[in-house]
Amino acid sequence: MKFGIWYHLRNPERWKQPAQDLYRETLDQIVAAEKLGYDSVWVSEHHFTDDGYLPSSLLFLAAVAARTARIRLGTLILLLPLHHPLRVAEDAAVLDILSNGRVDLGVAGGYRVEEFEAFEVPHKERGRRMDEAVEILQRSWGAAQFSAKTPDFSFLNVSVTPKPIQLGGPPIWMGGQSRAAIRRAARFGCHLLPSPSKEFDVVETYHTALREYGRDPNNFRIKSFSSMFCTEDPARSWEELKEHFLYQHNLYRQWYRSAGDSTAPDVADADQLSRDNYFVGTPDECEKAIREHQRNLSAEEFIFWAHPPGFPVEKSTPSVELFAKEVIPRFR
C-alpha cells in the first residue's frame, strides 16, 4: 500500500500568519516527507475564500517539483469546469515535464456557487462541462491534431505541445461521492478518488460501471483520503487540534448549504465532531483505522491531511514523522 499527504494551504484569520511563511514551511515539510518515504503529495483547489484556500494547484506543484525528485504530485481536486480544458492540458503537460513524469491529475465538478458565479460558469451546467472537458483532456495528449465543437468549447485542428512525459498524459483520477460521479469515472476510463459512502458500495458501483462500459476493473485503481493525525498522546493532540477541525467542518457545511447539497447546521462544540472523520490516534489506532478504510474501498493508496487549517506546520511535523516511522512500515 502507498501513502500520500494532502494540503490546502488555508490561512484563517483567527490563526493567520504571513502567506509566504505558510508556503515556505509547507514546501519544507513536503521535501522532508519525500525523504521519510511518502509516495505522493496532493493539493486542493478553491477560490475567493477568506482563508486563502489554495487557488492554483498546478502552480504550487511546480514549486514542489523543483524541490523533489521522487514523490508523485497530485491534485485533490482540480475543479475542472472552472478551467478551459486546453489550458489545463498544457499546464499539466509542462508540470509532467518539470517533474519527469510524476503528475496525477485529480478532477471533479465542484459545487461552491460563489466560484461558478465569479468565473461566469453556470452552476447548473457543471456536469456537462465536466464531461466535455475530460474528453478534451484525454484527446489533448495524443499524437494527432484534433477538433472539438461542443456547447461550451469550439476549436479546430489543435495539437497541445509539448507532450507530457507519461505516455498518453498524466493519469486522470475522478473525485466524487455520488453514484453519478463514480459512473462518470467509469464511462471516461478514469481512476477513482472517492469519498466513502454509507448508502452504497463504492467499489462494487465502480467495477460494475466499468464492466458496463467494456472496461476491465483490473486496469483501474482507487485511492482513498481522510483526515488523520498520528500521535503518542491522542487526548492532548485532540485538544490542540479540535478548534481547527471545527473551523474546517463548519465552513464546509456552509458551502454545502449554499450549494443546496445539505441542510445540516453548524456544529457548536468541537467535541461533538465525528472522531472517525477527524481521526487522532496512536500508530496502532491509525493502522487499525486504515485497514478498516482499506476493507471498505480496496484502495491502493491512503492519503491524509498533513495539518488542518490554521494549525502550525511545525506542530504537525511530528505527526508526519511518526506516521512515516511507525505506520507506513506495517503496510510495506
| E strand or H helix at 149 | strand 146-149
pLDDT at 194: 93
Please give the backbone phi and psi of residue 225, each rounded to the nearest 5 degrees, phi first: -145, 150
Domains of the chain: residue spans and CATH: 2-233+274-331 (3.20.20.30)
Please give the backbone phi and psi of residue 92, each rounded to the nearest 5 degrees, phi first: -65, -35
d(CA 215, CA 252): 35
Looking from the CA of 217 toward its CB, the CA atoms found within 13 Å total: 15
pLDDT at 79: 98
The pTM (predicted TM-score) of the whole model is 0.96
Q: Is 236 exposed, middle or buried (0-12, 13-18, 19+ CB in 10 A)?
A: exposed
pLDDT at 195: 83
Closest CA to 46 of 193, 256, 317, 245: 256
pLDDT at 202: 93
Do 266 and 254 touch, CB atoms closer than 8 A? yes
Closest CA to 79 of 109, 112, 49: 109
pLDDT at 293: 87
d(CA 202, CA 196): 7
Name, in order, each residue with C-beta under 8 angstroms of 135's C-beta and a sequence gap of 6 or more.
148, 188
List the chain pLDDT tens, one digit each, 332 residues.
999 999 999 999 999 999 999 999 999 999 999 999 999 999 999 999 999 999 999 999 999 999 999 999 999 999 999 999 999 999 999 999 999 999 999 999 999 999 999 999 999 999 999 999 999 999 999 998 999 999 999 999 999 999 999 999 999 999 988 899 999 999 999 999 998 777 889 999 999 999 999 999 999 999 999 999 999 999 999 999 999 999 999 999 999 898 888 888 999 999 999 999 999 999 999 999 999 988 888 899 999 999 999 999 999 999 999 999 999 999 98
d(CA 277, CA 194): 15
Please give the grid coordinates belonging to residue 138: 484525454
pLDDT at 287: 98
Do 313 and 50 touch, CB atoms closer than 8 A? no
Do 74 and 173 touch, CB atoms closer than 8 A? yes
d(CA 310, CA 308): 6
Please give the grid coordinates belonging to residue 17: 500568519
C-alpha gyration radius of the chain = 19
Neighbours of 261 (CB within 10 A): 12
DSSP lists the bridge partners of residue 229 as 280
Do 122 and 151 touch, CB atoms closer than 8 A? no
